[in-house]
Structure 1
Amino acid sequence: MSQTVCAYCGVGCKFELINHKLKGVKDYPSNQGMSCAKGISQSQTIHTNRLLEVHYRDSIEESFRPSTYEDSFQLIAEKIKQSTHPDKIGFYLSGQMLNEDYYVANKLAKGFVGTANCDTNSRTCMASAVVGYKKSFGMDYVPVRMEEIEHCHLMILIGANTAEAHVVLHNKIKKAQKKGLKVVVIDPRFTLTAQSADLYLPLKVGTDIDLLNLLAIKLIKEDQLDHDFIKEHSNYFNSYKEKLLALDEKVLLKSTQLSEEIFEAFYRLFKQSKNIITAWTMGINQSVQGVDKNLAINNLHILTGQINKKGSGPLSLTGQPNAMGGREVGGLSTTLAVHLDYSEENCQKVADFWKSDKIPKKNGLTAFEMIEKADQNGLDILIICHTDPVYHLPHRRFVEEAFKKIPLVIEINAYQGSETSKFAHILIPAVPFGEKEGTQTNLDRTLTRVVAFETKHGLLQDWEVFAQIGKHLGHEKAFDFRSSKEVFEEYQEMTKLSYRKHLDIYKAQYDDLEHTPFIWGETLYDQNHFLTPDRKANLFFIENQNLSEQPSQAYPFILLTGRTRDQWHTGSKTGYAENLLKYKALEFVEMNQKDAAAFQLNEGEIVKIVSSRGELKAKVVFADINPKTIFIPISHRDINYLTDDTLDPLSKEPDYNHSAVRIEKIESMIL
């Protein structure tokens, strides 16, 4: 009986294939037999909308013509050799890739092409959490596991709609509620998640830091702190406290637009709860102040000692199935490999391990920065794997113009019809879920085997594509892998280089991972220390600078973005699943009914939404959402014609959730 792991969100559900249908595995910790509609639909879509042939064209004005793997690899290798400098070559990877795919791609880019411009679409969703963890705790390490919800007394969900984005996790939370868990949801929208909360805080967009600081002030003033933990396991408390208490509580509360009664109810729950988990995702991370928001969350757990004990801690929720694995491997351009940052010592370690003299010496360009470089005619080649940056990067009009200036764009994908393919010169087919084999890591450090239950029909897996490019560049020995297992075992050896050996994936057994998951970093979790040089957590004073795009007379609404339960990104897979078509549409805009009335809008009418960067059309859906705030799902293919391309200065994550827009009524027809 075949068992495999889901290719959608970061929960990482395990399935078994029975009579060509997927069913949750009961004894697997991530899902315990549960599944969501998206997950079980995957067996329907393996053969749907597939890219099955290599295609090539000299110019994006031409039509594609059939090509071959061999011809494309030879051409790519020649173009890489002809490029004037490695800095003019970019690799754009994805949380849809397995660890083995990530490893070979990272090795090729940083080890043998010599470019640090190797980033992943995880930059656009999880980079702020990565930087926050590293600043507070010394390493990109999630100190909570999903199973600990059963030991938690209060769960705070802020900027996270688990009922739609992490369905199985949400069902775990609801089960725990029946046993006494209290849940607080903080969100400008009264989401499906908020509907099941014990307390809902309709926070004003952009005031997360104000709320978190207000809570910290209250805890300090009423002495609801863990003084022993602060003294023994943290840094900078006195300076943090001094600056924090200089803030005006009334001003902070007013900015959040919450009533004093609601805030006090939240505070009472917090101070009365023995074990607290705070969980968040894009509503926190996708902001010009995303890192600061993460630090404000981490501060609360340090102040109260709500970390490094079962049922407590800051739990970042990853959006893609292997966003965590990509971070471990080194898929971000700000990391060299296996959690090693760029330094002279680390570069030498990696050079010795890979036996290469081409290791870059400093951080590369992040996802959007590569496109900015392309706009300046500074990129010769961009290799994209299992992601759609023309669709998912902000300020799409700018992105499209930049893509037109890249001489060679290669897209590696299992599916056809991406928005990026309109700007590509080479399309290389690779296998999807169901045909891939290797490992991936879910949002709480659980490493599991992904097993193929369909044949590849002559197509290549991502790591095989990158290995072939490496061989065509003349590095046959470095890329002479014969199986996913061989790649994994080399990656395992490399994890021994990680800082303080915390990334102990070298202890795992590849064959055992099919039925027995491995959780890395457990020895750290059992000890009350961190991965900073002095083994202590760092407190950072954070103040809301209101740096995001603000509403104006011309653009009076704020746009929020996010997922819906039964669709995935552009719907290139879920849009073809029969069991999902009866649920939410791909394209709509949620509005407050009073705001709609001001425009004399009825539900179902089509409106135009306009920002300073572009526009789109969508059908109006009435929702319980804060005034002057709208929501459009990311399944709307045109969403990023609207979004702001301001980046967090540290994480370089785009500010998707604070775009100023206006609404224009364009027709009275109701669909």
Structure 2
Amino acid sequence: MKIKSVCGYCGVGCGIEYDTRRLVGDIDYPVNEGLVCSKGASELHTIETPTRLLRPKLRKAYEDFTEISWEMAIETIVHNIRSTSPERIGFYLSGQMLTEDYYVANKLGKGFLGTNNVDTNSRTCMASAVVAHKKVFGVDYVPVRMEEIEHCNLLIMVGANPAEAHVVFNNKIKKAKKEGLKTVVIDPRRTETAEQADLHLPIRVGTDIDFLSLVARRIVDDGKTDDAFLDAHVNGFDAYLKKIKKIPTKKLLKRCGLEEEAFEAFMALFYQSENVISAWTMGLNQSAQGVDKNLALINLHLLTGKINRPGNGPFSLTGQPNAMGGREVGGLATTLAVHLDFNEESIAKVSEFWGAQNIAPAPGLTAFEMIEAAERRELDVLIICHTDPVYHLPNRSRVEAALKKVPFIVEINAYDDSETKPFAHLRLPAAPWGEKEGTQTNMDRSITRQERLTRRSIDCKPDWEIFSMIGRAMGFVSAFDYQDAEAIWDEYRRMTALSPKGHMDISGVDAASLKNGGHVWGEGLFDDNEFLTPDGRANLIFVQNERRSESSSLEFPYLLTTGRTRDQWHSGTKTAFVDRLLKHKPLSYIEINSEDAQSAGIADGDKVKVTTARGALVFEAKVTENIREKTLFVPVTDRRINYLTNDLLDPESKEPDYNHNAAKLEKWSG
């Protein structure tokens, strides 16, 4: 008997079918229509691997782990929670969790323990987009869906590489190109996506706002604004106009490192395209000015009215399978639940719904702010679930030093080989993809049911059950008396009726209906151009490049960037094992421009030393013409990379700046 489920890798959310022998794409599921990428096709291998964590384990500092019972594990957690105050407790969650997992963790932390220090690793990849959406639209809402590529004339991809990070979505793009779609890729690297594009603009690292401002200025100068749309549906155009007309166009074009002919080629494509979608991911978001970069891109759609019509609009691409679902249930420390913020009215609504009395009145600590609190010895308990902050947070040496100061760290994980393991005091075995059931939301708001495909490993538990056990042991028995994931879904879907203006109300969508296909929330929300701002109008916000990111210098003449590759996933905890079976791309290398390599006496395959203000690492050189001069690239699957990255944060989104690291390069002779 075949079981239909959904892939647990990227934000595309492909439907899959499983029998006892293999996993294939679900031909009836509209997101992927039977397609599945190499990661998804090999996902079965990630369930039964030698790297699985299978028993609860406890230790004292610097001693070996000892297997313990679940009862002792929960008692230990409860003791440590009761031994401190709510503001000294933190939860760090993950887009690998299902919606039910996220929901229970958020309810426990914010509703009953009284800590709003409940954040997710989505903070490090899409928090800038969330803030920008809320500033412009009044709500965190993605107004484009993947299927709209079929109606689009021009797809602009900025700091995104779908050919490697969103493979099945990229197949949709390639299919649409055969029907006339034009694509532009704006990226300092000539990625696989850029190879397929009609136009590649290799702008310098850190000049995204400069380029997008040049486009906006040109639209204004050429009289290509949609004045009727602006007058009826957008705030701030007059103020924006005064500022955009003052930008120094020649200076900004030079700063971008573009020839005028290339810019004109872009404008020609833009003007001849009735329908335009822009798509972006970490290349814009992961910046000390990530929110502003998002605003600069969204502004182009507001200026031209290319939004809220099929084949038009800004499309934020998410990297994890349930990053969107986490945002919906309140997985970010800066939101409460179901897109409600920390204001008196929202707190009252949520308190009544949950029967909770302990919700704190202000946002909690975000991911790296918890590290800063740990440095000050202001964090006593940190519960980490399905993520690896020692590996993925920036300035790793600082993170390691901070976590050593946290008296009690719990790691909930399906795998035993995390980089966080040496810093944990208690490790709990969680059920991974394939051993649990629940729901997830992909990057275009499609909610899909993930089914259990195999038996659950004997001592492993789904995340929701672990957090429920903690809640009951803390004395909140009735609030966490869930029998299964469906009971949690039923509670959550009823809660969505509380969302602002009911925009994500899915209270009528029961778990049984999801077994027969997905559900898309928020369909047609902005069709009448009524946004969820107080006055119903979108906000046009002028931004300029304040150059907050780390810049190159005489001492550090290069800029080091990071990103994903096609066959790998994060640190390779899952895919690296499969990689040994299927022999995909390597986990570690550094791309160097061929002219830079020649100047430094570096040949392809040489060992090179890369140094930033935070540390030095040795890599194998991959010499290529597909990256800008004075730019370096290392895939994030190299677990060491964040020893080099900086911990500058966007002041609004608190998202780290992974892609602007001043570096020096030298041939290594060790």
TM-score between both structures, scaled by the size of structure 2: 0.98
CA distance in structure 2 between the aligned counterparts of 1:578 and 1:261, rounded to whole angstroms:
43
User: Does the aligned pair in 2 maintain the 1:37–1:579 contact within 8 Å?
Assistant: no
User: Does the aligned pair in 2 maintain the 1:574–1:580 contact within 8 Å?
Assistant: no
- Counterpart for residue 608 of structure 1: 609
State the 1:512 CA deviation: 1.6
State the 1:617 CA deviation: 1.5
- Counterpart for residue 461 of structure 1: 462
- Counterpart for residue 168 of structure 1: 168
Q: Deviations over 1:413-438 (max 9, x none)?
A: 00111000110000000100101100
Q: Tell me whether 1:63 sits opposite 2:60 in the alignment.
A: no
- Counterpart for residue 238 of structure 1: 238
User: Does the aligned pair in 2 maintain the 1:38–1:580 contact within 8 Å?
Assistant: no
CA distance in structure 2 between the aligned counterparts of 1:219 and 1:552, rounded to whole angstroms:
34
State the 1:45 CA deviation: 1.7
State the 1:383 CA deviation: 0.1
State the 1:523 CA deviation: 3.7
Q: Deviations over 1:429-478 (max 9, x none)?
A: 01001011000000000001000111113321000000000011011100
Q: Deviations over 1:6-47 (max 9, x none)?
A: 111100011001342111111212111111100111111211
Give secondary structure in 1 for the equivalent of 2:447.
strand
Which amino acid is 1:537 matched to? A
State the 1:581 CA deviation: 4.2
- Counterpart for residue 485 of structure 1: 486
CA distance in structure 1 between the aligned counterparts of 2:322 and 2:618, rounded to whole angstroms:
32
Q: Tell me whether 1:113 sits opposite 2:143 in the alignment.
A: no
CA distance in structure 1 between the aligned counterparts of 2:669 and 2:639, rounded to whole angstroms:
21
- Counterpart for residue 631 of structure 1: 633
CA distance in structure 2 between the aligned counterparts of 1:426 and 1:72, rounded to whole angstroms:
7
State the 1:506 CA deviation: 1.4
- Counterpart for residue 640 of structure 1: 642
Which amino acid is 2:121 matched to? N
Give secondary structure in 2 for the equivalent of 1:336.
coil
- Counterpart for residue 7 of structure 1: 8
CA distance in structure 2 between the aligned counterparts of 1:610 and 1:277, rounded to whole angstroms:
38
Give secondary structure in 2 for the equivalent of 1:524.
coil
CA distance in structure 1 between the aligned counterparts of 2:506 and 2:422, rounded to whole angstroms:
39
Give secondary structure in 2 for the equivalent of 1:504.
coil
State the 1:579 CA deviation: 7.5
Give secondary structure in 1 for the equivalent of 2:169.
helix
Q: Deviations over 1:569-621 (max 9, x none)?
A: 11111011158642210000000011111111111111111111112111100
- Counterpart for residue 475 of structure 1: 476
Q: Deviations over 1:94-129 (max 9, x none)?
A: 000000000000000001110000000000000000
CA distance in structure 2 between the aligned counterparts of 1:259 and 1:513, rounded to whole angstroms:
51
State the 1:62 CA deviation: 0.7
- Counterpart for residue 421 of structure 1: 421
- Counterpart for residue 17 of structure 1: 18
Which amino acid is 1:254 matched to? K
Which amino acid is 2:354 matched to? W
User: Does the aligned pair in 2 maintain the 1:199–1:266 contact within 8 Å?
Assistant: yes
CA distance in structure 1 between the aligned counterparts of 2:491 and 2:22, rounded to whole angstroms:
34
Which amino acid is 2:514 matched to? L
Equivalent residue pairs, number: 666
CA distance in structure 1 between the aligned counterparts of 2:66 and 2:110, rounded to whole angstroms:
31
User: Does the aligned pair in 2 maintain the 1:613–1:643 contact within 8 Å?
Assistant: yes
Which amino acid is 1:395 matched to? N
TM-score between both structures, scaled by the size of structure 1: 0.98
Which amino acid is 1:587 matched to? S
CA distance in structure 2 between the aligned counterparts of 1:304 and 1:40, rounded to whole angstroms:
41
Which amino acid is 2:492 matched to? Y
User: Does the aligned pair in 2 maintain the 1:9–1:165 contact within 8 Å?
Assistant: yes
CA distance in structure 2 between the aligned counterparts of 1:248 and 1:589, rounded to whole angstroms:
35
State the 1:507 CA deviation: 2.6
Q: Deviations over 1:188-212 (max 9, x none)?
A: 0000110000011011110000110
Gap regions ≥5 residues in structure 2: none
Which amino acid is 1:136 matched to? V
State the 1:664 CA deviation: 2.3
Q: Deviations over 1:611-660 (max 9, x none)?
A: 11112111100221001000000000100000010000000000000011
Give secondary structure in 1 for the equivalent of 2:183.
strand
1:613-624 map, 5 Å:
613-623=614-624, 624=626
CA distance in structure 2 between the aligned counterparts of 1:593 and 1:582, rounded to whole angstroms:
26
Which amino acid is 2:475 matched to? G
CA distance in structure 1 between the aligned counterparts of 2:88 and 2:18, rounded to whole angstroms:
44
- Counterpart for residue 255 of structure 2: 255
Q: Deviations over 1:289-311 (max 9, x none)?
A: 00000000111000111111101
CA distance in structure 2 between the aligned counterparts of 1:229 and 1:19, rounded to whole angstroms:
55
State the 1:367 CA deviation: 0.2
CA distance in structure 2 between the aligned counterparts of 1:138 and 1:526, rounded to whole angstroms:
15
User: Does the aligned pair in 1 maintain the 2:435–2:457 contact within 8 Å?
Assistant: no
User: Does the aligned pair in 1 maintain the 2:394–2:658 contact within 8 Å?
Assistant: yes
CA distance in structure 2 between the aligned counterparts of 1:28 and 1:211, rounded to whole angstroms:
38
User: Does the aligned pair in 2 maintain the 1:605–1:667 contact within 8 Å?
Assistant: no
CA distance in structure 2 between the aligned counterparts of 1:523 and 1:145, rounded to whole angstroms:
11
CA distance in structure 1 between the aligned counterparts of 2:647 and 2:10, rounded to whole angstroms:
24
Which amino acid is 1:393 matched to? L
- Counterpart for residue 348 of structure 1: 348
Moved more, 326-335 or 13-22: 13-22
- Counterpart for residue 379 of structure 1: 379
Aligned with residue 52 of structure 1, among 45, 51, 54: 54
CA distance in structure 1 between the aligned counterparts of 2:659 and 2:524, rounded to whole angstroms:
37
Q: Tell me whether 1:180 sits opposite 2:180 in the alignment.
A: yes
Which amino acid is 2:298 matched to? N
Gap regions ≥5 residues in structure 1: none
CA distance in structure 2 between the aligned counterparts of 1:580 and 1:327, rounded to whole angstroms:
35
- Counterpart for residue 318 of structure 2: 318
Q: Tell me whether 1:77 sits opposite 2:96 in the alignment.
A: no
User: Does the aligned pair in 1 maintain the 2:614–2:644 contact within 8 Å?
Assistant: yes
Q: Deviations over 1:196-233 (max 9, x none)?
A: 00011011110000110100111111111111110101
Which amino acid is 1:231 matched to? D
- Counterpart for residue 394 of structure 1: 394
- Counterpart for residue 430 of structure 1: 430
Which amino acid is 1:648 matched to? D
Moved more, 615-624 or 444-453: 615-624
CA distance in structure 2 between the aligned counterparts of 1:505 and 1:645, rounded to whole angstroms:
38
Which amino acid is 1:25 matched to? D
User: Does the aligned pair in 2 maintain the 1:567–1:580 contact within 8 Å?
Assistant: no
Closer, same or farther: CA 39–418 of 1 in aligned 2, 3 Å? same
Percent of aligned positions with the same letter in both sequences?
55
User: Does the aligned pair in 1 maintain the 2:618–2:668 contact within 8 Å?
Assistant: no
- Counterpart for residue 360 of structure 1: 360
CA distance in structure 2 between the aligned counterparts of 1:457 and 1:54, rounded to whole angstroms:
13
Moved more, 645-654 or 351-360: 351-360
CA distance in structure 2 between the aligned counterparts of 1:290 and 1:578, rounded to whole angstroms:
33
CA distance in structure 1 between the aligned counterparts of 2:218 and 2:81, rounded to whole angstroms:
58
CA distance in structure 1 between the aligned counterparts of 2:163 and 2:138, rounded to whole angstroms:
31
1:192-591 map, 5 Å:
192-458=192-458, 459-577=460-578, 581-591=582-592
CA distance in structure 2 between the aligned counterparts of 1:3 and 1:579, rounded to whole angstroms:
27
The two structures, once aligned, show a CA RMSD in angstroms of 1.0
Give secondary structure in 2 for the equivalent of 1:270.
helix
Moved more, 187-196 or 249-258: 249-258
Moved more, 228-237 or 514-523: 514-523
State the 1:147 CA deviation: 0.4
CA distance in structure 2 between the aligned counterparts of 1:515 and 1:234, rounded to whole angstroms:
40
Which amino acid is 1:95 matched to? G
CA distance in structure 2 between the aligned counterparts of 1:81 and 1:393, rounded to whole angstroms:
28
User: Does the aligned pair in 1 maintain the 2:93–2:119 contact within 8 Å?
Assistant: yes
CA distance in structure 2 between the aligned counterparts of 1:506 and 1:562, rounded to whole angstroms:
38
Q: Deviations over 1:294-332 (max 9, x none)?
A: 000111000111111101000000010000000000000
CA distance in structure 2 between the aligned counterparts of 1:596 and 1:393, rounded to whole angstroms:
29
Closer, same or farther: CA 578–555 of 1 in aligned 2, 3 Å? closer
CA distance in structure 2 between the aligned counterparts of 1:52 and 1:554, rounded to whole angstroms:
48
CA distance in structure 1 between the aligned counterparts of 2:477 and 2:397, rounded to whole angstroms:
41
